[in-house]
């Protein structure tokens, strides 16, 4: 008996731990700053033909703490083009002992349709071990089959911030004559290419990459992480054939998807002429049609099959009066065409934090469609999913970025308008008074322009009256207050402008202690941004907002007080921005003036200490008080 027990003990490490998934084997260098470690990452893409491919994946992750838990579960998407042949998912404990094993049939099957989408026919399989004894390891294997190809997965040897990699490999097996396209980004990782019969095999491989960690206000992960973009050359999906080797060809493929989908019903054609024939200026015609689009359609997202890239036809939009970004842009272009104006379909990344387009690697990029009308030197940009945005204005959702403009010849890289600090302005004039109880009564008139206009724009168009009131009454950092009255006016155009009027009452705004009155003259706009002084900075500091704020505040004060302490004026003009705050105490009033201007800049890590100081100076200036004391 005794001998048998010993045997067993010896055998367990020998057989069960053969795959060496034990977390104890991870080198310390890979655990530094890591929440998880990619032990093995293998992705094999076998291209059978321009429309068919098989992928085989093998991943082993060791999760070191709670923040790595998302790797302890899987989500696998499938749709009309992709089917999952098999999945297996295994959980191991710290020593590498298998605890649980599940297959495809054990997983939950869920709809991909998200909030805000009417229908999406994609689905996903989901499973999570919900394990929490750290470290633990999961291994997952999947085989997928593609019937229809539009893109290839990117190789990411480093998965994300705070995840190190022990071994990662990406293999493409392609027919000998198939052109495999790839582009290394933030690295120069190259494949080893071998031939095997009528196949060519491309293998990328790396070992032992330490974890990197993103920083707040730093570059996006994609800008610092090594990765290799992959893309098809010839491809085919749902009967549509294309070639991705140039933007020209990409554009031709998109044109193919739109072919014959710009036919308008007769009544709409009539309406187009009714609206535009009396107008001479093509710009006015564009505005008139855009206004018609905004009045008569709204955004509804339906994604079926290749519909992720193919717009619903113009007559569908005319009848239903709704569509997604593709359908509405396509419809807008059809309206323009009827009026004899040539409009273009534009593929873009929409969103404030979206990645930028990689313009030297033609591939399926972008997540949004807009349209534009080139008029000589000028171009009118049109966001067709919004019923309220000004024609020509791109804002923070689509402004200042590269995009792919599609015309008859194919695709071309273009850039959308960029707004500077001279465009994005907010100027505020406040007439206020403080009475002997310290109560504040303020009339606030503010003009917002450019990107600064987006917030009040949302208050006009996006929020119900009730939501607006709630928002306004929790916006300011005043002790207790009420916005008694609010009013908004918008001037539309390529550089839209909103005038806001608020009447604000704040009891006990100024603090009275005995004979003294404490007043912060900066009523509504105190900078709360502070950087931690003891952080070690590795990456650039990205200031991605350009704006200019000007405040002129007059506060009438009760009679009989004289200044005891008045904050010194602050005036900074540095590469980090321009800032001025000045205060003047007169016998009956306080005059306060503040200007803050920033432009979009990237600062190297060595500038970090300077930035800390800059924001600290602003914070101090914005929070300083005037002390008034009663005349004896």
Partner 1 sequence: MTVQRTLTLALCLLAGAFLRAQDKPPARFGKISPADFNVKAPAYDTAADAVVIADVASSEFVGNVKGWFTLEFKHFKRIKILNKKGFDAATIEIPIYGTNSYGQRVDGLKAYTYNLENGKVVESKLDDKSIFIDKVSKYFMKKKFTFPALKEGSIIEYTYTLQSDFFDYLRPWAFQGIYPCMYSEYDVSLPNFFQYVTLSQGFLPFRRSNPTSRNTTFRLSIPGGADRDENVSFEDEVVETKYTMKDIPSFKEERYTTTIDNYVSKIEFQLSRYAFPQSVPKDKMGNWYSISLALMKDEDFGGDLGNSNGWMDDEMKNIVKGAASPLEQAKKIYAYIRDNFTCTGHGHLYTSNPIKTTFKNKNGNEADLNLLLVAMLKHDHLNADPVILSTRSNGFTHEVYPLLSRFNYVIASVNIDSTSYYLDASEPWEGFGHLPEYCYNGHARIISAENPMPVYLDADLLLERSTTTVFMSNEPGKGVLNGRLTSLKGYIESSDIREKVRDKGEKEFFKGVQAAFPSEWAISGTSIDSLKLTDDPVTVSYDVQLKSDGEDLLYFNPMLSEGYKENPFKAAERIYPVEMPYGFDETYVLNMEIPTGYVVDEIPKSTKVTFNDNEGFFEYLIAKDDNGIQFRSRIQLKKANFKPEDYATLRDFFAFIVKKQSEQIVFKKKK
**How far, in Å, CA of 258 to CA of 307, rounded?**
11
Smallest gap from Cβ 73 to partner 1, in A, equals: 10
Choose which of 134, 518, 593, 603 interacts with partner 1 (CB under 8 A).
518
By the rule CB under 8 A, 85 interacts with partner 1: no
Q: Does 108 bind partner 1 (CB under 8 A)?
A: yes
Q: Within 373-392, which residues bind partner 1 (CB under 8 A)?
A: 387-388
- Minimum distance of partner 1 from residue 508's CB (angstroms): 4
Instruction: List, as one string, the DSSP characters of 2-60.
Output: HHHHHHHHHHHHHHGGGG---GGGS-HHHHTT-SEEEEEEEEEEEEEETTEEEEEEEEE
Answer whether the bond into residue 278 is a cis peptide, omega within 30°. no
Q: 411: which residues sit within 8 A by CB, 6+ positions away?
A: 247, 248, 249, 250, 251, 252, 254, 347, 362, 404, 405
- Within 8 A by CB and 6+ apart from 155, the residues are 43, 168, 170, 189, 204, 227, 228, 230
* Contacting residue, 32, 100, 220, 487, with partner 1 by CB under 8 A: 100
Nearer to partner 1, 22 or 294 (CB): 294
Largest CA distance in the chain: 103
Q: Where are the beta strands (DSSP E) in 22-162?
A: 36-49, 52-63, 73-78, 82-92, 98-103, 108-111, 119-120, 123-128, 136-147
Instruction: Identify the CA nearest to 360 among candidates 246, 250, 219.
Output: 246
Residues contacting partner 1: total by CB under 8 A: 62
Site for partner 1 in 110-149 (CB under 8 A): 110-111, 113, 118-119, 123, 128-133
The closest alpha carbon to 443, from 454, 458, 429, belongs to 429
Residue 479 as a binder of partner 1 (CB under 8 A): the answer is yes
Task: Identify residues 419-448 at the interface with partner 1 (CB under 8 A).
Answer: 438
Separation between Cα atoms, residue 598 and residue 578, nearest integer Å: 7
User: Applying CB under 8 A, does 319 fall inside the site for partner 1?
Assistant: yes
Under the criterion CB under 8 A, does residue 478 sit at the interface with partner 1? yes
Element (DSSP H or E) covering residue 472: helix 465-475
Q: Side-chain half-sphere of 339: how many Cα atoms within 13 Å? A: 31
Distance, CA of 14 to CA of 455 (rounded, Å): 64
Q: Which is nearer to partner 1, 100 or 538 (CB)?
A: 100
**Interface with partner 1 includes 474 (CB under 8 A)?**
yes
Q: Which residues between 584 and 623 bind partner 1 (CB under 8 A)?
A: 616, 619-620, 623
Q: x/- binding map, residues 545-574, to partner 1, per CB under 8 A?
A: -------------------xx---------
Q: Identify residues 279-298 at the interface with partner 1 (CB under 8 A).
A: 295-296, 298
Would you say 176 or 321 has its CB closer to partner 1? 321
Contact flag: residue 477 with partner 1 (CB under 8 A): yes
In this structure, are residues 162 and 33 in contact, taking their beta carbons and an 8 Å threshold?
yes
Beta carbon nearer to partner 1, 167 or 482: 482
Which residues ranging from 197 to 216 are in contact with partner 1 (CB under 8 A)?
A: none
Minimum CB distance to partner 1, residue 338 (Å): 20
Asked if 240 interacts with partner 1 (CB under 8 A), we say no
Cβ closest to partner 1, residue 299 vs residue 361: 299
Q: Does position 544 bind partner 1 by CB under 8 A? A: no
Half-sphere exposure of 250 (CA within 13 A, CB side): 27
Residues 21-80 that bind partner 1 (CB under 8 A): 66-67
Q: How many CB atoms lie within 10 A of CB 493?
A: 12
The footprint of partner 1 (CB under 8 A) covers 66-67, 100, 108-111, 113, 118-119, 123, 128-133, 295-296, 298, 300, 302, 319-322, 387-388, 438, 461-466, 470, 473-474, 477-480, 482, 507-508, 511-516, 518, 530, 532, 564-565, 616, 619-620, 623, 625, 627
């Amino acid at each position: 008996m005794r001998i048998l027990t010993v045997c067993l003990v010896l055998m367990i490490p020998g057989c069960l731990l053969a795959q060496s998934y034990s977390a104890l084997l991870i080198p310390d260098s890979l655990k530094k700053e890591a929440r998880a470690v990619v032990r093995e990452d293998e992705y094999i893409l076998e291209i059978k033909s321009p429309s068919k491919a098989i992928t085989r994946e093998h991943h082993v992750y060791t999760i070191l703490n709670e923040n790595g838990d998302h790797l302890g579960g899987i989500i696998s998407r499938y749709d009309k083009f992709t089917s999952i042949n098999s999945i297996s998912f295994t959980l191991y404990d710290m020593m590498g002992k298998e605890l649980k094993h599940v297959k495809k049939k054990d997983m939950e099957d869920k709809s991909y349709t998200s909030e805000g989408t009417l229908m999406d026919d994609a689905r996903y399989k989901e499973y999570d071990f919900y394990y929490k004894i750290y470290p633990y390891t999961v291994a997952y294997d999947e085989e997928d089959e593609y019937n229809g190809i539009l893109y290839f997965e990117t190789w990411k040897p480093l998965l994300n911030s705070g995840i190190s990699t022990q071994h990662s490999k990406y293999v493409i097996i392609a027919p000998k004559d198939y052109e495999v396209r790839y582009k290394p980004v933030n690295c120069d990782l190259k494949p080893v290419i071998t031939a095997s019969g009528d196949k060519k095999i491309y293998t990328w491989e790396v070992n032992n990459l330490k974890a990197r960690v993103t920083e707040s206000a730093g570059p996006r992960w994609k800008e610092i992480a090594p990765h290799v973009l992959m893309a098809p050359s010839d491809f085919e999906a749902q009967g549509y054939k294309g070639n991705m080797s140039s933007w020209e060809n990409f554009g031709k493929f998109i044109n193919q998807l739109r072919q014959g989908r710009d036919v308008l019903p007769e009544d709409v054609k009539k309406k187009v002429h009714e609206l535009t024939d009396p107008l001479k200026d093509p710009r006015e015609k564009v505005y008139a049609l855009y206004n018609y689009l905004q009045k008569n359609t709204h955004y509804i997202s339906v994604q079926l099959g290749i519909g992720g890239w193919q717009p619903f036809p113009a007559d569908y939009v005319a009848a239903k009066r709704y569509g997604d970004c593709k359908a509405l842009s396509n419809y807008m272009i059809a309206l323009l065409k009827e009026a004899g104006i040539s409009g273009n379909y534009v593929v873009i990344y929409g969103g404030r934090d979206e990645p930028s387009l990689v313009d030297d690697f033609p591939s399926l990029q972008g997540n949004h469609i807009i349209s534009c009308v080139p008029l000589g030197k000028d171009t009118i940009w049109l966001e067709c999913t919004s019923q309220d945005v000004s024609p020509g204005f791109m804002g923070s959702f689509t402004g200042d970025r590269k995009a792919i403009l599609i015309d008859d010849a194919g695709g071309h890289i273009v850039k959308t308008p960029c707004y500077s600090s001279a465009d994005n302005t907010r100027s505020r004039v406040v007439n206020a008074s403080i009475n002997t109880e310290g109560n504040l009564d303020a009339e606030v008139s503010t003009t917002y322009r450019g990107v600064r206009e987006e917030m009040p724009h949302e208050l006009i168009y996006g929020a119900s009256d009730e939501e607006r009131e709630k928002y306004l009454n929790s916006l300011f950092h005043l002790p207790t207050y009420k916005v008694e009255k609010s009013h908004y006016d918008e001037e539309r155009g390529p550089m839209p402008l909103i005038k806001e009027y608020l009447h604000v009452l704040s009891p006990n705004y100024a603090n009275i202690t005995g004979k003294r009155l404490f007043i912060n003259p900066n009523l509504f706009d105190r900078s709360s941004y502070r950087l931690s002084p003891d952080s070690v900075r590795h990456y650039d500091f990205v200031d991605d907002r350009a704006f200019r704020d000007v405040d002129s505040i007059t506060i009438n004060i009760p009679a009989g007080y004289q200044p005891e302490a008045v904050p010194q004026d602050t005036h900074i003009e540095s590469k980090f921005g321009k800032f001025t705050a000045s205060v003047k105490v007169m016998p009956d009033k306080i005059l306060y003036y503040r200007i803050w201007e920033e432009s979009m800049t990237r600062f190297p890590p060595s500038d970090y200490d300077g930035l800390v100081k800059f924001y600290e100076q602003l914070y101090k200036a914005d929070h300083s008080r005037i002390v008034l004391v009663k005349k004896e």
